Amino acid sequence: MQSENLNIEVNSDNKLSATLQEKLQNLPLTPGVYQFKDISGKILYVGKAKILRNRVRQYFQSKPQTGILNVMISKIADLEMISTDNEVEALILEQNLIKSLKPRYNINLKDDKSYPYIVITNEPFPRVFPTRTKRSDGSRYFGPYTDVKNMRFALKTVRDIFMIRSCSLNLTEETIAQDKFKLCLDYHIHKCEGPCVGYLSRKNYNETIDQVAKLLNGKTKTLIKEMTDRMNLHSEKMEFEKAAQLRDKIEAVEVYSSRQKMADDEIVDRDVFAFDKTDNDCCGMILKIRDGKVTGKIHYFLNNTAGKTDSEILEHLITGHYGNADFIPDEIFLINEIENEDAVKLWLENKKQGKIEFSVPKIGDKYKIVFMVKKNARLLLDELILTRLKREFIPPSLEMLKRDLHLKSLPKRIECFDISHIQGTDTVASMVVFTDGKPKKSDYRKFRINSLPDETGKPDDFLSMREVIYRRFRKLISPDLRQKGENFISENQDGEDPSFSSKPDLLIIDGGKGQLSSAVKVLDDLQIKDQSIIGLAKRLEEVYFPGESDPQNIPKTSAGLKLLQRIRDEAHRFAITYHRSLRDKRTFATELTEVEGIGGKTAQKLLTEFGSVENIKEVLKNNFGIIEKSAGKKTALKLKEWFEI
């Protein structure tokens, strides 16, 4: 190969410069790969060409291009070109570059990495097991299986028919010779022939593995014929036990084969390629036919297909699918012709080490199969579009809430704050978060309030609200403004928290005008502008707005009001739950855990068993043996001494 780096200068008005025009005149008449780059050097597009000069010049001709193509051309600021000896070499290089560079404007083929495979490992004595990860380690992968039940049935059939190892021992001829291993249960129940102790040679074991590969590739008729020939040979030699074992295996393979749908009377290996597309999305599907029977299917989703021809899409689907394939059939049916058929065919034949036939059926049963595959691709594409629409769906309640509260934008993220305490003890606050009308519990936060009670000894709800709002928004302001509220928090409290990283679309304060005013005062002091905020009073479900003395009523039937109520109730529940947990801990601390030698677990056990401290005292007084039996004599004596019983 020869590599040339052509620096193209493009003017700010995106017109071709004299330098670029000169380079276009000097492009070679050879096959190769070209890369378009933007002004920062980022790869925009990778393409191949049978004749580089003709292909690259097409991008800069005056004839109208598609919208996306025009955008790409306008960004081109540099070109890197690699000449190759032939089209096949250009095809392989293009594939590798697209995989490694992932250019912005190339078709992006995505397969579902969650589908399982069956792998035959690259070892002297290979193992066979399911996996969801493909590695470039020389192992053979069969699948992917879109139906896990089919994969499990195939794996069970393999293990029922063939005596292969299920262990993960490092079996080599050297370790076996060193007598490092012992026979396991699988040998004794006739599931393995004992290669770990040398009962089966590496050659014979790998012959069995080759049969496994034929079964997994769908070559059941070929496998049955081979096994039948061997069975007859054993019968002729009067080795009836071995012949009977092969007979049973043949019957099991026939049962497995009967579950596969007949697609063609011909005993052929064939892949059928078809796709369907929308503006910028495409789904490609491949139907696998082995020995005339359907053995499976696989699909890929492709994006960046806007402006690409059907030939380009299909070629990308073929090269992407067979790039790492372990098996290539003799025939390939296509939904339409591809422009570079000769190069793609030659590339596949080199990989297969055999002949391949491309065909584009137009009529008859073969066309019906291709059309069926296209219909299935369309169903999957519609499913993808529907899933995307569901993700982008805006709940009607958010639209109603925006209207009812006169908000400038949709309240996609809503935060609600509530204060909770009982008779002035253990004051806490809760923050619940709803995104797109649904609770996002990972962003919920709870606060233990540090503010002091007022002069009457009662908790100051307004001061508590100011504290929690300050602690929520303090990270969004400059350090000098934080000084105004530092008395609210202790060192390192509410550290770097991802839930506090941005402003909510709507802030709800659970309470009336006073609580709302407290929160607004903190936001003003912190110079946080344009924050949508309301107060929601419990009594009449009245909504208070900043700066307005009278509340506003939202229609009782409004979906927006129902959403507000749901968020407020969730904030109340979350605050109460946290308050109760603090109260329970405090109860433990002041009653049982003050006894020397009694920890939280023992205290919890006693309270769970006897219900309360008073009950424990009563049992100690009247039936000491029960406490002694439950907590031990030493703990029981300490409790008796502590309570002076």
Q: Where are the beta strands (DSSP E) in 291-412?
A: 293-303, 331-334, 357-359
Q: What is the mean pLDDT of residues 208-213?
A: 90
The C-alpha atoms of residue 69 and residue 107 are separated, in whole angstroms, by: 12
Secondary element (H or E) of residue 117:
strand 117-120
The C-alpha atoms of residue 331 and residue 13 are separated, in whole angstroms, by: 50
Nearest to 76 by CA among 2, 4, 17, 27: 17
> What pLDDT was estimated at residue 533?
93
- The lowest-confidence range among 62-76, 408-422, 507-521 is 62-76
The C-alpha atoms of residue 264 and residue 290 are separated, in whole angstroms, by: 10
The C-alpha atoms of residue 551 and residue 537 are separated, in whole angstroms, by: 9
> What pLDDT was estimated at residue 414?
95
The C-alpha atoms of residue 24 and residue 9 are separated, in whole angstroms, by: 12
The C-alpha atoms of residue 100 and residue 109 are separated, in whole angstroms, by: 13
Q: What is the mean pLDDT of residues 269-298?
A: 86
> What pLDDT was estimated at residue 585?
66
> What pLDDT was estimated at residue 564?
92
Contact 300, 376 (CB under 8 A): no
The C-alpha atoms of residue 462 and residue 517 are separated, in whole angstroms, by: 8
AA letter at 493: Q
Select the more confidently predicted residue: 349 or 553.
349
Nearest to 599 by CA among 609, 589, 607, 608: 589
Q: Output the CA–CA distances (angstroms, integers) from residue 623 to 119, 382, 618, 630, in the order listed.
A: 67, 73, 8, 12
Contact 278, 309 (CB under 8 A): no
The C-alpha atoms of residue 46 and residue 496 are separated, in whole angstroms, by: 42
Residues 343-397 pLDDT 10s: 889 999 988 888 999 999 998 888 888 999 999 899 888 888 877 776 666 788 8
Antiparallel, parallel or unpaired: β 140-142 and 281-290: unpaired
Is the pLDDT score of 274 beyond 90? yes
Residues 627-645 pLDDT 10s: 888 888 888 888 888 777 7
pTM for the model stands at 0.53
Q: What is the number of other CB atoms lying within 10 angstroms of the CB of residue 374?
A: 19
Q: Which residues contact 190 (CB under 8 A, 6 or more apart)?
A: 163
Q: What is the mean pLDDT of residues 88-103?
A: 85
- The lowest-confidence range among 169-173, 240-244, 377-381, 473-477 is 473-477
In terms of phi and psi (left: phi > 0; alpha: psi -120 to 50; beta: otherwise), the region of 410 is beta
Nearest to 559 by CA among 394, 407, 397, 436: 397
> What pLDDT was estimated at residue 234?
86
Is the pLDDT score of 8 beyond 50? no
Is the pLDDT score of 108 beyond 60? yes
- The lowest-confidence range among 78-92, 184-198, 388-402, 535-549 is 388-402
Coil/strand/helix, residue 413: strand
CATH number, span 399-579: 3.30.420.340
Q: What is the mean pLDDT of residues 488-512?
A: 74
Q: What is the mean pLDDT of residues 395-405?
A: 88
> For residue 144, is the peptide bond before it cis, meaning its omega torsion is within 30 degrees of 0?
yes
Q: What is the mean pLDDT of residues 439-457?
A: 78
The C-alpha atoms of residue 120 and residue 1 are separated, in whole angstroms, by: 36
Contact 627, 620 (CB under 8 A): yes
Contact 386, 362 (CB under 8 A): no
Q: Which residues contact 471 (CB under 8 A, 6 or more apart)?
A: 447, 485, 488, 489, 493, 494
Is the pLDDT score of 12 beyond 50? no
Residue 453 DSSP class: P
> What pLDDT was estimated at residue 453?
62
The percent of residues in the chain predicted with pLDDT above 70, rounded, is: 86
The C-alpha atoms of residue 561 and residue 52 are separated, in whole angstroms, by: 64
Nearest to 474 by CA among 442, 500, 508: 500
Is the pLDDT score of 6 beyond 50? no
Contact 160, 205 (CB under 8 A): no
Q: What is the mean pLDDT of residues 19-27?
A: 70
> What pLDDT was estimated at residue 432?
94
Angle between helix 310-322 and helix 87-101 axes, rounded to 10 deg:
80
DSSP assignment string, 350-382: HHHTS--EEE---SHHHHHHHHHHHHHHHHHHH
Q: Output the CA–CA distances (angstroms, integers) from residue 548 to 143, 249, 504, 519, 544, in the order listed.
A: 66, 85, 22, 14, 7
Contact 503, 531 (CB under 8 A): yes
Residues 51-80 pLDDT 10s: 888 888 888 776 656 677 888 888 887 788
In CATH terms, the fold of domain 2-106 is GIY-YIG endonuclease (3.40.1440)
- The lowest-confidence range among 247-256, 397-406, 562-571 is 247-256
CA 582 to chain centre: 38
Is the pLDDT score of 324 beyond 90? no
The C-alpha atoms of residue 403 and residue 613 are separated, in whole angstroms, by: 55
Nearest to 502 by CA among 475, 525, 479, 538: 475
AA letter at 196: C
Q: Say yes or no: do domains 2-106 and 399-579 share a fold.
A: no
Q: What is the mean pLDDT of residues 497-513?
A: 86
> What pLDDT was estimated at residue 640?
80
What is the number of H-type helices and E-type strands within the chain? 22, 22
> What pLDDT was estimated at residue 295?
78
Based on C-alpha coordinates, what's the Rg of the chain?
37
Contact 51, 31 (CB under 8 A): yes
Which token pair is 569?
């109730």
3-state SS track over 186-203: HHHCCCCCCHHHCCCCHH
Is the pLDDT score of 583 beyond 50? yes
Is the pLDDT score of 589 beyond 60? no
> What pLDDT was estimated at residue 494?
57
The C-alpha atoms of residue 395 and residue 601 are separated, in whole angstroms, by: 46
When pLDDT is cut at 50, 70 and 90, the band that residue 597 belongs to is confident
Beta bridge partners of 82: 3, 33
Ordered by start, the domain boundaries in the chain are: 2-106, 270-390, 399-579, 592-642
Coil/strand/helix, residue 333: strand
CA 635 to chain centre: 53
Secondary element (H or E) of residue 273:
strand 270-277
Q: What is the mean pLDDT of residues 612-638?
A: 82
The C-alpha atoms of residue 141 and residue 119 are separated, in whole angstroms, by: 5
The C-alpha atoms of residue 415 and residue 502 are separated, in whole angstroms, by: 11
Which token pair is 41?
């050097």
Residues 31-46 pLDDT 10s: 889 888 888 888 889 9
How high does pLDDT run on average in the chain?
82
In CATH terms, the fold of domain 270-390 is Nucleotidyltransferase; domain 5 (3.30.420)
